[in-house]
């Protein structure tokens, strides 16, 4: 076989037609695995857990020990970036992330990109540890949150609906321009460092690409992502990037052609055949199994997997979910899904 030096997922991202369909699952390292819950119980603070290289490497490798999948995604979080730049970030049990909101232009000075590499060194060390354990066909993935998604957390101080962040962004274009510039630089540094530490590709999670007008989508999603991709490729011309604008499945062709990402993730609501037709048969697509079809299992899971596999025959495709795997997912259903794909 040719290209044996590059893992299967990377060859697929490059648009090569492969015999096997690569598989990984968003949020695969996490609470659906009992061994994760056990490891998590021993690491009380989620952020300290992310910054403990041995524990983070272990969490990253757990799903690969259990499942026949083709990638490890580093155990970390999108919010390590505001945290490493000096914003207060905490993960509260049963609530999720809580940040001290930044809403004044003068406060943007608090966000310091110069400390990222030293503060996130444990993440890069964890990547190195994981890399040593993978074989040449398994890819290691790094990731970050996209500028707009991170901006919503930085401005609102929490997740949930983005109405507050949207109104704020409409009213404060200067603040947004400065914040995007800071984030673009921070994220390019972080993605480049992950690639240098051993990641074969990176995914940009734009988890909050939904509910945006054309104008806002262009200004807050497309433009900053395009700059981030360009900056990363300046630092690392060979960088392979998967962009995942969740909730913008009707805009995937636009997103792909404008931002310069190499591959595109499809959420649950994406019309996958239409997207394949629009984007052509050369570009790598990823997704879009409903995580709750995986919870349900049985006939509908089989039907859903086959529907995606039918589409995957048309062009390079990475099998994945349309959003993160949820904690109540039965392990047997994941195994059944993988068996179906492999069969
Ligand atoms: O397996 C993997 O995919 C790698 C690890 C990973 C985590 N978070 C670990 C995590 C990844 C890729 C993320 C991305 C992330 N984090 C996103 C983008 C993807 C998406 O889901 O849309 C977002 C929006 C976040 C922010 C975040 N982190 C939230 C909203 C929460 C709380 C809700 C939740 O899912 O628990 C987290 C916490 C978090 N990040 C956990 C894990 C395993 C759970 C923490 C715990 O174990 O207590």
Q: Where are the domains of the chain?
A: 3-342
Residue 43 has pLDDT above 70, yes or no: yes
Atom 36 in ligand 1: residue holding the nearest Cα: 96
| Residue in 77, 192, 267, 290 annotated catalytic | 77
Catalytic residue list contains 300: no
Residue 54 has pLDDT above 60, yes or no: yes
Does the Cβ of 153 fall within 6 Å of ligand 1?
no
pLDDT at residue number 17: 80
pLDDT in tens, 154-185: 999 999 899 999 999 999 999 999 999 999 99
- For ligand 1, say whether the CB of 159 is within 6 Å of any of its atoms: yes
Distance, in Å, from the CA atom of 222 to the CA atom of 143, rounded to the nearest integer, reads 18
Greatest alpha-carbon pair distance for the chain in Å reads 58
- 292 pocket-lining for ligand 1 (C-beta < 6 Å): no
Give tens-digit pLDDT for 86-145.
Answer: 999 999 998 999 999 999 999 999 999 999 999 999 999 999 999 999 999 999 999 999
**Residue 1 confidence (pLDDT) above 80:** no
Q: Average model confidence (pLDDT) for the chain?
A: 97
CATH top class, domain 3-342: alpha beta
Q: Is the pLDDT of residue 4 over 80?
A: no
Tens-digit pLDDT profile for residues 229-281: 999 999 999 999 999 999 999 999 999 999 999 999 999 999 999 999 999 99
Tens-place pLDDT, residues 182-197: 999 999 999 999 999 9
Write down the H helix ranges in 108-245.
116-119, 121-133, 147-156, 163-171, 173-196, 214-216, 223-235
pLDDT at 19: 86
- Cβ neighbour number for residue 3 with a 10 Å cutoff: 12
Ligand 1 center from residue 314 Cα (angstroms): 32
31 noted as active-site residue = yes
Q: What's the pLDDT score for residue 129?
A: 98
Token output for 223 = 């433009």
Provide the pairing of β-strand 201-206 with 139-145. Answer: parallel
- Residue 197 sits at φ, ψ, to 5 deg, of -80, -5
Give the residue, by CA position, lying nearest to ligand 1 atom 2. 27
pLDDT at 18: 85
**Which pLDDT value is given to residue 143?**
98
pLDDT of residue 233: 98
CA-207 nearest atom, ligand 1 = 22
Residue 72 clears pLDDT 60, i.e. is over it:
yes
Cα 218 to Cα 57, 243, 264, 330: the distances in Å are 37, 15, 17, 39
**Does residue 156's CB lie within 6 angstroms of at least one atom of ligand 1?**
no
Residue 2's pLDDT band (boundaries 50, 70, 90)? very low
Of the chain, the percentage scoring pLDDT greater than 70 comes to 99
Give, as one character, the DSSP assignment of residue 326.
P
- Looking from the CA of residue 91, the nearest atom of ligand 1 is 38
Those residues whose C-beta lies under 8 Å from the C-beta of residue 229, and which sit 6 or more positions away, are: 241, 243, 259, 260, 261
Q: What is the pLDDT of residues 297-319, one digit of tens each?
A: 999 999 999 999 999 999 999 99
Answer yes or no: are the C-beta atoms of 72 and 140 closer than 8 Å. Answer: yes
* Residue 313 neighbours by CB under 8 Å, 6+ apart: none
Nearest of 167, 179, 273, 269 to residue 213 by alpha carbon: 167
CB-ligand 1 contact for 324 (6 Å cutoff) = yes
């Amino acid at each position: 076989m040719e290209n044996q030096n590059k893992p299967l997922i990377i060859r697929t991202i490059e648009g090569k037609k492969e015999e096997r369909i690569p598989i990984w699952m968003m949020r695969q390292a996490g609470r659906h695995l009992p061994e994760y819950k056990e490891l998590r119980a021993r690491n009380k603070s989620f952020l300290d857990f992310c910054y403990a290289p041995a524990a983070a490497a272990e969490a990253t490798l757990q799903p690969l020990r259990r499942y026949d999948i083709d990638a490890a995604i580093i155990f970390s979080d999108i919010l390590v970036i505001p945290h490493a730049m000096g914003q207060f970030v905490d993960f509260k049990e049963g609530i999720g992330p809580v940040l001290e909101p930044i809403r004044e232009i003068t406060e943007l000075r608090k966000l310091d990109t110069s400390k990222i590499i030293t503060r996130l060194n444990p993440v890069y060390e964890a990547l190195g540890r994981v890399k040593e354990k993978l074989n040449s066909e398994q890819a290691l993935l790094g990731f970050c949150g996209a500028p707009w998604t991170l901006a919503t957390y930085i401005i609102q101080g929490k997740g949930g609906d983005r109405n507050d962040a949207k109104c704020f962004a409409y009213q404060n274009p200067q603040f947004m321009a400065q914040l995007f510039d800071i984030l673009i630089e921070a994220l390019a540094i972080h993605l480049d460092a992950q690639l240098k530490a051993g990641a074969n590709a990176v995914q940009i999670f734009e988890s909050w690409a939904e509910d945006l007008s054309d104008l806002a989508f262009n200004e807050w999603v497309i433009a900053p992502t395009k700059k981030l991709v360009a900056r990363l490729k300046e630092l690392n011309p060979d960088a392979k990037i998967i962009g995942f604008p969740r909730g913008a499945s009707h805009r995937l062709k636009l997103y792909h052609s404008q931002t310069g990402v190499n591959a595109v993730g499809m959420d649950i609501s994406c019309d996958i055949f239409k997207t394949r037709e629009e984007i052509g048969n050369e570009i790598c697509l990823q997704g879009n199994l409903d995580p709750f079809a995986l919870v349900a299992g049985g006939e509908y899971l089989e039907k859903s997997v086959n529907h995606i596999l039918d589409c995957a025959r048309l062009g390079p495709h990475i099998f994945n979910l349309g959003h993160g795997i949820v904690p109540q997912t039965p392990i047997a259903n994941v195994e059944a899904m993988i068996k179906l794909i492999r069969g």
